[in-house]
Amino acid sequence: MKMQVREFADFTGVSVRTLHYYDEIGLLAPAEVDHATGYRYYDENSLIRMQEILFYRELDFSLKSIAALLSSPNYDKAKALSEQKQLLTLKKERLERLISAIDGAVKGENVMKAFDKSELDAYKSEAKAKWGATAAYKEHEEKTKSYSGEKWNELAEGLDRIMGEFSLCMKREEAPDSAAAQALVKELQSYITENYYRCTDEILSGLGQMYVADERFRSNIDRHADGTAAFISEAIATFCAK
């Protein structure tokens, strides 16, 4: 099997931009690059690697953590796949409960128990405890372990406010390397460090790239205005290059 980047993107359900980004960060490189044409080709091993990446994304691991895990000499693929299968089974069971609950709700029954995902959350926590060995992840877990639901909502609102400020900066036609935009990057970095984990320039740079490479992040940030995610990414790149 040999596929060009567009074919591989369509087959796996990710964008070409995302594949290019995965290559840049060393997460998934093409199996072959034709240096005469620049065409990238992927093979069966690439597909297996992508499957592993997608499984870990289901566990909400960061791309940086996934790259570290898959390159670790202690990585036990068979064991990891077994754990991932269990996670997906729990998700399937929860979806089946929700589907059944719809019929019950139509009949006027109390179906609140169908929304219980404590078992799934507990399993995710256990899996991350086994596999989340990065320093940033450990610091994040330690710092946030006592956060209440209200605290998490408050922090999310704080991040969203900063993203909104970036959007306003962009609408004022400030450049990503302007003093105003760079001040917002510094504020974002400090906010993450204060509330989650120490956000080094390296981590910040990775976040900036993820904001445009990951469709979920990009669409959420662009709620403020189209192009906000790209504006933030460029501003962060400028900040980290200094």
Of 160, 167, 169, residue with least CA distance to 188: 160
Please report the pLDDT score of residue 59 as a whole number: 67
Distances in whole angstroms, Cα of residue 39 to Cα of each of 7, 11, 36, 42: 12, 17, 8, 10
What the chain holds in terms of domains, given with CATH numbers, is: 1-74 (1.10.1660.10), 76-132 (no CATH), 134-242 (1.10.490.50)
pTM of the model: 0.47
Please report the pLDDT score of residue 174 as a whole number: 92
What count of other Cβ atoms lies within 10 Å of the Cβ of residue 70? Answer: 17
Residues of the chain with pLDDT under 70: 59-60, 73-74, 83-84, 87-88, 90-91, 94-95, 97-99, 101-141
Structure tokens at 48: 């297996």
What DSSP string describes the chain? --EEHHHHHHHHT--HHHHHHHHHTTSS--SEE-TTT--EEE-HHHHHHHHHHHHHHHTT--HHHHHHHHT-TT--HHHHHHHHHHHHHHHHHHHHHHHHHHHHHHTT---GGGG--HHHHHHHHHHHHHH--SHHHHHHHHHHTT--HHHHHHHHHHHHHHHHHHHHHHHTT--TTSHHHHHHHHHHHHHHHHHTS---HHHHHHHHHHHHHSHHHHHHHTTSSTTHHHHHHHHHHHHHH-
8 Å CB contact between 21 and 213: yes
